Chains A and B, each alone.
Chain A
Amino acid sequence: MKKTFDNKAWFLVLPVFLMVLFNSLIPLMTVVNYSVQETFGNNEFFWSGTRWFEQVLHDRQFHESLMRQIIFTGLVLLIQIPLGLAIALCMPRKGPWVSVCLVLIALPLLVPWNVVGSMWNIMALPDIGLLGKAINGLGISFNYTRQPLAAWFTVVLMDVWHWTSLVVLLCYAGLVSIPDAYYQAAQVDGASRWSVFRYIQLPKLKHVLTIAILLRFMDSFMIYTEVIVLTGGGPGSTTKFLSIDLVQKALGGFDLGPAAAFSIVYFLIILFLSWLFYTLMMRGEAK
């Protein structure tokens, strides 16, 4: 659409601008402020330069959380993107079942995150949970409060349950927007089912898949509530991801400086990786 140039449009965006400014700039300034200062209480602050940043970047705990975070996000993307795409391809295109399937599939997205944690907490209990009982019934010893592997399995399964639906809905929306003529032409051209997927569906889904990967990357990189309710970061700190680590530092301790530096490093990592993903996925587009 051809847009008119008119700076008066600023008046229309002003409320949004001020609101987001208030909510984002002031807190970020606070964080930056803390990150370069040191306090011994009594509201006295001293310039500390990059000390907190150096401390965070050399902190073994931080390294471990970051490592865990990267493995978790990698696993989540590896499972959810193909699975979500596959489910979207299985969905009926028209008919009364479409609404039913969509509502049921979207349901996990509307469950409060702590309830997701509670749900899987109960579900995976080895004595009275359906999942825990079933796995133990197979003769495999399973207790997520004690075994790191069981805890990881439960956390990843929970995230698959919670978020694969987002990928399904995005891909489904992309699929139904492909005109019928493409499928008809492929049929006439004698294309196999695989060719239809490879040469029609996948290229047309490129945009929604980019968005799905970006969203899933960002959200899984920020995961907090579900895990804190399910495992509390344990057993030990085997499921302690970046947000859990940060909240413990910021709310638990009194060392605001390192927590603030941690926040900034964390935010920058997400921004950088999102930018990297986006550029890589859009690289072919420019040609």
Chain B
Amino acid sequence: MRWRYVFLFIYILFLMLPIYWLLNMSFKTTNEILGGFSAFPREFTLASYRTIFTDPTWYNTYINSITYVLINTVISVMVALPAAYAFSRYNFIGDKHLFFWLLSNRMAPPAVFVLPFVNLYSAVGLFDTPWAVALAHTLFNVPLAVWILEGFMSGVPKELDETAYVDGYSFPSFFVKIFIPTIAAGIGVAAFFCFMFSWVEMLLAKNLTSVAAKPIVAAMTKTASTSGYELGLLAAAGVLTLIPGAFVIYFVRNYIAKGFALGRV
């Protein structure tokens, strides 16, 4: 029994070490970083964070990222809700093919889509706006959201719908007032996964923007490549990208296991 927890502890320690090292770097001065190896910041400084919070070319990239992530999450869940309901309650012509076609998009490498997406979103005039990234990410998030929501909805007995119709609800009012509150946990989990993918993705986000809508993930690569060894700044920017994720995961902590329990294909 004991060794199980020792093993678990070592694994979690392994997960935390790189995060600690990033944190450690972010509080060091550039001199100390280049000066050599140290496990704790000896001259503790918030200078890197100050730079990010005062320089608009830095903090705007955060705002841009959060903007397209939120737009993407809202759109994905909104369009996925009725579709998932249709898949969980009805048979219709081509339903199975449609479902597999949706999921097969999950197998498309983003690298394949970079160039065509740049062409497509330039053509419709959305290039370098948060909308381009948000819409591009729906290719991967909508199928996922449909899949997760369908799983949760299938767990709700059909009698709920029938009772509501007997009680005189129309479909839209039933859907909004009764059904959505019933599967709130599922919506939370689906939103979590959409948020997660959109927040961590870089290839599309970077190539679909240039200046006005530049996301934080793109800003960081620029720091790493052009200005050479601004490791403190890079580390601080990295630490700040962990916060939204940690925040979101804390809210869905009781549903994580359930969200992953969709063990059916």
Do A and B bind? yes
Query: CB distance B115 to A251 under 8 Å?
Result: yes
Query: CB distance A110 to B242 under 8 Å?
Result: yes
Query: CB distance A118 to B200 under 8 Å?
Result: no
Bitwise, A111-122 to B at CB < 8 A (1) or not (0) is 111110011111
- B46 within 8 A of partner (CB): no
Residue among B87, B114, B117 with the most chain A CB within 10 A?
B114
Chain B residues 17-71 with CB under 8 Å of chain A are: 17-19, 21-22, 25, 33-34, 36-37, 39
- A140 within 8 A of partner (CB): no
Task: List the A side residues contacting B170 at CB < 8 Å.
Answer: none
Measured CB to CB, the closest approach of chain B to A89, in angstroms, equals 8
Measured CB to CB, the closest approach of chain B to A275, in angstroms, equals 10
Bound-state CA distance A8–B86 (Å) is 9
Bound-state CA distance A26–B15 (Å) is 40
- A57 within 8 A of partner (CB): no
Query: CB distance A251 to B207 under 8 Å?
Result: yes
Contact of B261 among A4, A27, A87, A177 (CB under 8 A): A177
Taking Cβ atoms with an 8 Å cutoff, the residues of A that contact B are 1-10, 12-13, 15-17, 19-20, 23-24, 26-28, 30-31, 86-87, 89-92, 99, 101-115, 118-123, 127-130, 133, 161, 165, 169-170, 172-174, 176-177, 207-208, 210-211, 218, 221-222, 224-225, 229, 242-243, 246-247, 250-251, 256, 259, 263, 266-267, 270-271, 274, 278
Task: List the B side residues contacting A108 at CB < 8 Å.
Answer: 15
Residue among A87, A120, A122, A207 with the most chain B CB within 10 A?
A122
Query: CB distance A13 to B11 under 8 Å?
Result: no
**Chain B contact residues, majority secondary structure:** helix
Bound-state CA distance A246–B154 (Å) is 40
Contact of B260 among A12, A23, A133, A170 (CB under 8 A): A170
Query: CB distance A111 to B241 under 8 Å?
Result: yes
Measured CB to CB, the closest approach of chain B to A262, in angstroms, equals 9
Query: CB distance B83 to A225 under 8 Å?
Result: no
Chain A residue nearest in CB terms to B32: A128
For the complex of A and B, 9 pairs with smallest distance between CB atoms: A110-B245, A27-B116, A12-B86, A9-B90, A173-B261, A243-B111, A23-B139, A9-B86, A173-B260
Are A30 and B120 also in contact (CB < 8 A) when A9-B89, A108-B15, A225-B203 are?
yes
Query: CB distance B264 to A256 under 8 Å?
Result: no
Query: CB distance A169 to B257 under 8 Å?
Result: yes
Are A109 and B196 also in contact (CB < 8 A) when A16-B79, A128-B37 are?
yes
Task: List the A side residues contacting B114 at CB < 8 Å.
Answer: 247, 250-251
Query: CB distance A31 to B108 under 8 Å?
Result: no
Q: List 13 contacting pairs A-B, 8 Å CB cutoff, sorted by A.
A: A2-B158, A12-B86, A13-B86, A16-B102, A20-B101, A106-B249, A107-B19, A110-B245, A123-B18, A208-B263, A218-B107, A256-B115, A270-B107
- B254 within 8 A of partner (CB): yes
Contact of A23 among B37, B135, B157 (CB under 8 A): B135
- B234 within 8 A of partner (CB): yes
Are A161 and B107 also in contact (CB < 8 A) when A27-B116, A207-B264 are?
no
Task: List the A side residues contacting B34 at CB < 8 Å.
Answer: 128
Task: List the A side residues contacting B93 at CB < 8 Å.
Answer: 7, 10
Query: CB distance A20 to B254 under 8 Å?
Result: no
Measured CB to CB, the closest approach of chain B to A284, in angstroms, equals 15
Chain A residue nearest in CB terms to B87: A13
Measured CB to CB, the closest approach of chain A to B185, in angstroms, equals 14
Bound-state CA distance A5–B95 (Å) is 10
Are A23 and B250 also in contact (CB < 8 A) when A105-B12, A107-B19, A170-B260 are?
no
Measured CB to CB, the closest approach of chain A to B67, in angstroms, equals 15
